[in-house]
Structure 1
Amino acid sequence: MIKKIMVIGAGQMGSGIAQVCAQSNFGVLIYDIDEKFTKGAIQKIDAFLSKGVAKGKLTEEEKNKALSKIMTTLNLSDASDVDFVIEAAPENIDLKKKIFSKLDEICPQETILSTNTSSLSITDIASTTKRPEKVIGMHFFNPVPLMKLIEIIYGLETSKETFNKTEELAIKLGKTPVKVKDFPGFVS
């Protein structure tokens, strides 16, 4: 059962992903390499939620509950107790492979490792792990809190169980999942 999600990358996509996870009642841990990025993510999320309160789309209590679900870290080893990872680092295959290789060593064996890539090969990223069956793509669209579509991309070795759990998570996040083969450009 997925309870705690790590979001890697505190930029535009990462902060949006963290927000929808927190608003869906998951514990969220945002990781980035610099505190200015993690603080910036919290500020972006707070501002977005505050706009929602001002427009009557959520209450102050709902906003505060979502914010209370989010923690930040500069230490990737804090991934040692997460159930699911959503990587939203820059679109650089070498960077993503390095991150996934480290996550493979740190995360529990049952943890699913997903990437928000919009075009890079899931199979290639998964090749750096000892758990390619647990590596999958979750391509969110910007702005994440508003866009309902999500592409779920399975690599050559991604298991049906990993796909099903990822699809279930996407639905819990209020998204409409589309199953996509690992092919350049996916659906979008």
Structure 2
Amino acid sequence: MGSNITTLAIGYGLPVHLVDVDRPTLDQARARIARQLRHAHLLGALPADQPAGELVTSTSVAGAEGATAVLEAVTELPDVKRKVLAEVAAVVPPGTPLVSNTSGIPIDELAEELPCPEQLVGTHFMNPTYLIKMVELVRGPRTSDAAVAAVESLLGALDRTPVVVRDDPGFVTSRLLHPMINQAARIVERGTATVDAVDTLMQGCLGHPTGPLRTADLIGLDNLVDSLAALYERTGEQSCRPCDLLLEKVASGDLGRKTGQGFYDYGEVLS
């Protein structure tokens, strides 16, 4: 999601300082962003007459010092997110909006160790960000009006439509979609229907645009399992406990489109 959001931002002319764990990862991200920019322009999803914003990459959060806003999009693990947000908060001026892109971790949990918890806002961008215009914007109980307004303004500059929701595990989209995908995988696990049959019925009968299992491959099955586990831990709802089939696919490294194999075989790694 970090490279997806970067693609969107530089596609609208905004400069981005992208930080990741090491130089090879950053090199891969830069190549992925270039491919995504080409794809987005081919589809007319980015303004054709807008020069791309400057992209700078580094392995240090010190580069965030002069940022007008900081968006964290690391792995869906609360401790990792809290650590990164705390590191960033230590280098940015007070009042700088901090944004955690998460599919369902409550924002107030992530704000606990921040010196200014009112700066933190949640977003849930959909993948691919340059094709899906709507974004969940999550307001925590301590989030300030100024922080929400700043992030709404940023999303407006990216031609995205924010929908503000209250802080709660899974928010809206993940709380509805991820248990549904989990149940779809359970149906396949029980042998009731094939993967293709489940998706075909959901598309043809219920109007789901791609089918839940094809959507799972796009999300990334590891990301999906992490999100479901976080929901199960916080709600106790059995519908959120990752099913065995999902766990087996993640354990075998079949994570969806990004590895070339998930519920479907993509023949090559796609990113």
**Could you tell me which residue of structure 2 aligns to residue 24 of structure 1?**
12
Retained in 2: the 8 A contact 1:83–1:110? no
Stretches of 4+ moved more than 6 A in 1? 56-61
How far residue 52 of structure 1 moved from its aligned partner, in angstroms, is: 4.2
Which of 23, 28, 34 is 1:35 aligned to? 23
- Bigger mean CA offset, 162-171 vs 83-92: 162-171
Query: Quick check: 2:4–2:36 contact (8 Å CA) kept in 1?
Result: no
1:45 corresponds to 2:33: yes
The match for 1:187 among 152, 165, 172 is 172
Question: Cα distance 1:23–1:56, how it changes in 2: closer, same or farther (>3 A)?
Answer: closer
Give distance in 2, aligned partners of 1:131 and 1:58: 35
> Could you tell me how far 1:139 is from its partner in structure 2?
1.0
Q: Considering fraction of residues, name the structure with more strand.
A: 1
Aligned equivalents of 1:59, 1:151: Cα separation in 2 = 23
Unaligned runs of 5+ in 2: 174-271
Give the whole-Å Cα distance in 1 for the aligned partners of 2:74 and 2:37.
23
- Structure with the largest fraction of helix: 2
SS at match of 1:114: strand
1:165 aligned onto 2:153: no
Matching residue of 1:115: 100
**Displacement, 1:60?**
8.1
Note the aligned Cα RMSD (angstroms): 1.8
CA distance in 2, matches of 1:106, 1:82: 10
Shift of residue 53, structure 1, vs aligned partner: 4.7
Question: 2-side partners of 1:60 and 1:177: how far apart?
Answer: 23
Consecutive unaligned residues of structure 1, counting only runs of 5 or more, are: 1-12
Q: Tell me, in whole angstroms, the C-alpha distance in 2 between the residues paired with 1:41 and 1:162.
A: 28
Change in Cα spacing, 1:40 to 1:179, as seen in structure 2 (3 Å) is same
Task: Name the structure 1 match of 2:141.
Answer: 156
Aligned twin of 2:118: 133
Q: 1:142 aligns with which of 102, 122, 127?
A: 127
Q: Measure the CA separation in 1 of the matches of 2:71 and 2:85.
A: 11
TM-score normalised per structure 2:
0.60
- Structure with more relative contact order (C-alpha pairs < 8 Å, separation 6 or more): 1
Deviation at 1:50, TM superposition (A): 2.3
Aligned counterpart for 1:94 among listed residues 79, 82, 87: 79
When Rg is computed on C-alpha atoms for both structures, the one with the higher figure is: 2
- Sort the Cα spacing of 1:49 and 1:110 in 2 relative to 1 into closer, same or farther, 3 A: same
Question: How far apart are 1:172 and its partner, in Å?
Answer: 1.4
Does the CA-based 8 Å contact 2:121-2:137 persist in structure 1? yes
Counterpart-to-counterpart distance in 2, 1:20 and 1:152: 17
* Aligned equivalents of 2:125, 2:44: Cα separation in 1: 25
Cα distance in structure 2, aligned partners of 1:33 and 1:174: 29
**Residue pair 2:7, 2:130 contacting (<8 A) in 1 also:** yes
- Matched residue type, 1:141: M
